[in-house]
Structure 1
Amino acid sequence: MTVDFKQALADSGIPTTEAGLRAAWEAEVIAQGSQLSNTSAYSPFWRVISALVTKPLLWLLTFVSDTVLPNFFVKTAGGAWLDMLAWAVDVERKGAGRAVGQILFTRADSTGTLQVPIGTVIQSASINGTVYQLVTTALGVFQAGQSQLQIRIMYAIRSYYANAFVLFDQGVPAASYIEQMNAQVTIEGNHGHGDDLLVQVMPETQHDISLQIWPRLTLNADERQALLASVEQFVRTAFRETAGTGYVLTLTLPQSRFSFSRLGEELHQQFPGLESLRFENTDIVSQLNIPRIRNLQVAIGD
């Protein structure tokens, strides 16, 4: 259950918006017998009222609805306010504690004995940008033939923010940019988490690409060679090697599947002079990395 304290004020008849307060002021002016007739937004009287009364009152109402009222109740209070509520009933806030429990270790090879020493760290994958760690607090020993073992652990309270990977097009002086970014992060502290964040170049995977094309029979020798060069540039653009070509196509991305069949469709759409084509490659499924071309061979088929 959640409580909207600002709505609670409104439900009790207290205006909580600038428009509501303006309407209340106008009604009160009329009730007091005022003869003011200029009610436009540019009226000097209402501009003074807005600056000296309405805006300060809105600040006060916001403070009451967002800070004072929530901190009157244990469920919604926090910080020093919650400590004061606890003090009123002679209770002190409990200190921070580490979660404890057990974790199941599994090994693939159950031959022989294997020790898991005290202090072994178990690290999670990145969860919403944060990595969590657990640490064993007891010695674990796999006996021969034993493939699973439960060991006591404790939350290490060493969660930290995962590194940030930056994707550059090939040929961009990544090292100098990365140096500037890390200086902004670690020296000037612009990311808000101290030195826990390290900016790095996105890891790369290297691939050999082989493509055969069959130009239309209506093309002469020069047009066939121009088509060959353009197709090669198009493929390199898909792998982020060239920029400013004006081609509109699907680019390689981290954590995605790069489809050569889709690239083939886009080649056909871009070059009407292509009769047929064939890639020797299967789709590239990337993880937290970016596919790059190691070798590219584009040839005209027989």
Structure 2
Amino acid sequence: MEISIADQIALDDALVAPADRLKIGKCNLRLSSDVTSKEATLQVVYDVLKLTPFYKAFQVTADAPEIYMQEFWATAYVHNRSVRFKMNNKKHIIGLEQFRDILQICPKVGNKKFVEPPLEKEILIFLASLGHSGDIRKITDVNVNKLHQPWRSFAAIINKCLSGKPSYDSLRLSQAQILWGMYNKKNVDYAYLLWEDFIFKIENKNTKKGNAMYYPRFTKLVVNFVMEKDPSIPRRNKVNWHYARDDPMFTTINVISRNEATLNHTKSTMLGLQEQFLLRQKEARRKLIHT
């Protein structure tokens, strides 16, 4: 039975008081499925991303009640590398494998082990090899805009769509490791890198300086995942929902170079990623058949 809007607001206020709610801002963009560019280098970047095993994470979204998004961040905490939280005052748990499914990231290929990406020291050497024009002694010295193309474009899109960063000038270690895995065509566990960032934000949510919600698009996906698993959770009469249409879209990047050498290398990277992606798709289909 539907209830009045006033009663619904009262129920929502009982879950998370208005004064304790976060601002749902533009910190987790979405990449359009039909994104294209007239600039050759950027188009190759988009083509390469489409072949990565984590491309869906750039695009996937959902509709979800804003109050459950607020409740997630109000109640979430990390226990044994899993996240525990409440929805409609009911306890729930998600871990890495659920997060992998939520973001629709392909699983590893058969029994092939994931490759551990290098740590900060080696990553800094890698970024310097990509033409970073400034001195980098630690990861906080890295500026995306100082990378040569097309790596600047890759890093910018990864930051804006996956890391939830409000700007893409700086680069976190996990984002640099994603870039390393793509460049070297390695079997990296990209879901794990995103998951570690996600739980880091949960562990440090009480130290945040601003009032903006972390990862609103990923938060909606978690909420939608739980609602689909548990039909008993009220749908709140579709009052104050955050819809897919509310996601800010990634548009473009300025100053794209036309360097034939980098274009050829990026196309070579694309061929290697295509082979990796097809293997992961085959493995995913095999798992579906046997479940």
Higher strand share: 1
TM-score by length of 1: 0.19
Q: When you count helix as a share of all residues, which structure comes out higher?
A: 2
Q: Which has the larger radius of gyration?
A: 1
Looking at both structures, which has the greater relative contact order when contacts are Cα pairs under 8 Å and sequence separation is at least 6?
Answer: 2
